[in-house]
Amino acid sequence: MQGGSPDVSLQARLIVAILGALAAMLLLGGLASSLHVRERIENEMRSAHIVAEHRIARQIAELPATMDHEGKFRALLRTFDSDRHARLSLLGRDGKPIARSHLQLPRQPAPEWFSALFAPRAIVSVVPLTTGGSVSALELVLDPASHTRDVWTDLGLGLTIISLFVCLSLLLVYVIARTSLKPLKALRIAMGRIGDGQYDVRVDGKGPPEVQALAASCNDMAVRLQAMTNENRRLGELVYRLQEEERAELARDLHDEIGPFLFSIDVDATALQASAPEPLQSKAASIRAAADHARKAVRRILGNLRPGLLPGLGLQETLTHMISSFEAQHPATRFGLTMQIGSLDPETEALLLRVLREAVLNALRHGTPTRIDVSLMRQGNEIEFEVKDNGGGSAQFQHGFGISGMRERLEAAGGRLAIEPVLMPAGLRVAGCVPLHDQTGGNTAYRKEAA
């Protein structure tokens, strides 16, 4: 995968990389040492051979001063007993050994594969004698076993020390990496919380200079996002107020201008119907019916422009009235209303009413529900709402103007809106929350279940 596996942490990558480097160093050190193993064994054997030959030459030089040559040779033979490297043999006139020294081989020799790779052949030298007697020559044999064992022991000790160094280095690297990268975990958690909209999060700027710079940038970003969010919320509230003022002005114009005209038309049509001849009375009745239809249309438009709380009633009674109106218009659909919110400010009540009304209307427009449940609950400093239906509608309508407008109003007030499908039974769930500001009213439970 490009950029490395996302499942491997930076700390693990650093440790694996350093472990690979140390393992390579250990391997190269072992190879470099092995290249000189055979040469070292041969040098030590040559040194031991020279020392043994000097001992033999010194004894031969002392032969003219004694008559017991064989005794002198046997005394020399005893000096080689238990020698770890050389073995001396006395050869007779027939070339066969008369006597030989005891060669002390190592109790734990080097492994056979190591000896086969690096151990040279034994060095054999014969020193002829011209002194007469039963001893005709001295045979000196340099065995490589002890030298090979010594080199194997030194090499193992060296590799053990290097391995301990590698382990200590890895432990030190692990501690340093864990300590240095620990602030990144806090930075990652803070970034996730900022991504969720918690812009008051701040990262403690401890650690290396690079981590401190990242923490400072993260904190600065959180401050800027908080400021932008506050500004967007202020602008949203301003736009919302302007829209409400425009809607109110348009509603007043319709009520003050169109209403009197319709009333005048109705009065004139009534008078005409009472005094006109029979053929005109039916026309006057039609005019009155048209005026009545126009008044109802105006009231409907006014309700859409200003769907606020009913005069003198709170949110609970207004929602109950709204649910009853929906039940009358859609007798095949059952409605449920559950509320536990306490007292709210008028702006929050108006916002909740608009959102719930739009959600119920969308459920009826985009599906065929037989059941719609509306709930409002106070949770801490928030009011959580939910509209759930079983109409099998699609979540695509969340991109419509109505839902988009509700989402904008909720976000301007610091709230959230989510739309998700419901599997059993198939339908949609519109849920969200609105924050409360200095609300101290107690909870009042209310539940209305349709018959």
- Over the stretch 322-349, which tens digit does the pLDDT of each residue have? 888 888 888 999 999 998 888 888 888 8
Residues 225 and 324 in one domain: no
Kindly report the backbone phi and psi dihedral angles of residue 394, in degrees, each rounded to the nearest multiple of 5, phi listed first. -95, 150
Does a cis peptide bond (omega within 30 degrees of 0) precede residue 311? no
pLDDT at 447: 60
Specify the 3-state DSSP secondary structure of 385.
Answer: strand
Residue 395 sits in a domain whose CATH number is 3.30.565.10
Residues 358 and 418 in one domain: yes
Over residues 314-325, the mean pLDDT reads 84
Q: Which residue has the higher pLDDT, 401 or 412?
A: 412
Share of the chain above pLDDT 90, in %: 7
Q: Does 199 fall in a domain?
A: no
The answer to whether 125 and 71 are in contact (CB under 8 A) is no
- Over the stretch 5-30, which tens digit does the pLDDT of each residue have? 556 676 677 778 888 887 887 788 77
Q: Where are the beta strands (DSSP E) in 101-154?
A: 123-128, 137-142
Q: Which residue has the higher pLDDT, 117 or 446?
A: 117
Q: Which residue has the higher pLDDT, 304 or 408?
A: 408
pLDDT at 402: 65
For residue 305, what pLDDT band results from cuts at 50, 70 and 90? Answer: low
Q: Does 4 fall in a domain?
A: no
- Over the stretch 47-95, which tens digit does the pLDDT of each residue have? 988 998 898 888 888 877 777 777 888 888 888 888 888 999 988 888 8
pLDDT at 400: 55
- Over the stretch 339-378, which tens digit does the pLDDT of each residue have? 888 888 888 888 888 889 888 988 888 888 999 999 999 9
Return mean pLDDT, the chain.
81
Residues 14 and 163 in one domain: yes
For residue 105, what pLDDT band results from cuts at 50, 70 and 90? Answer: confident
Residues 273 and 414 in one domain: no
* Strand-by-strand arrangement of the 123-128 sheet: 97-100, 86-91, 137-142, 123-128
Residues 324 and 424 in one domain: yes
The answer to whether 372 and 360 are in contact (CB under 8 A) is yes
Look at residues 144, 167, 190 and tell me which one is the last residue of a structural domain: 167
Question: d(Cα 407, Cα 413) in Å, to the nearest integer?
Answer: 10
Residues 274 and 330 in one domain: no
What domain range is 224 assigned to? 209-300
Residues 158 and 235 in one domain: no
Question: d(Cα 10, Cα 12) in Å, to the nearest integer?
Answer: 5
- Over the stretch 59-69, which tens digit does the pLDDT of each residue have? 888 877 777 77
Q: Does 202 fall in a domain?
A: no
Q: Does 235 fall in a domain?
A: yes
pLDDT at 130: 78
Residues 275 and 419 in one domain: no
**Cα within 13 Å of Cα(340), Cβ side:** 7
Q: How many domains does the chain have?
A: 3
Residues 413 and 362 in one domain: yes
Residues 48 and 137 in one domain: yes
Over residues 181-201, the mean pLDDT reads 81
Handedness of CA 16, 17, 22, 28 (dihedral sign): positive
Q: Does 183 fall in a domain?
A: no
pLDDT at 386: 94
Question: d(Cα 15, Cα 379) in Å, to the nearest integer?
Answer: 47
Residues 321 and 293 in one domain: no
pLDDT at 2: 46
Q: Does 400 fall in a domain?
A: yes
Handedness of CA 63, 65, 70, 71 (dihedral sign): negative
Q: Concatenated DSSP letters for 101-113?
A: PPB---SSPPPHH
385 pLDDT higher than 90: yes
Residues 160 and 237 in one domain: no
In sequence order, the 6+-apart residues with CB closer than 8 A to the CB of 388 are 372, 373, 422, 427, 428, 429, 430
pLDDT at 451: 47
Q: Which residue has the higher pLDDT, 236 or 432?
A: 432
Q: Does 420 fall in a domain?
A: yes
Q: Does 419 fall in a domain?
A: yes
* Strand-by-strand arrangement of the 416-422 sheet: 416-422, 427-435, 382-389, 371-379, 334-340, 445-449
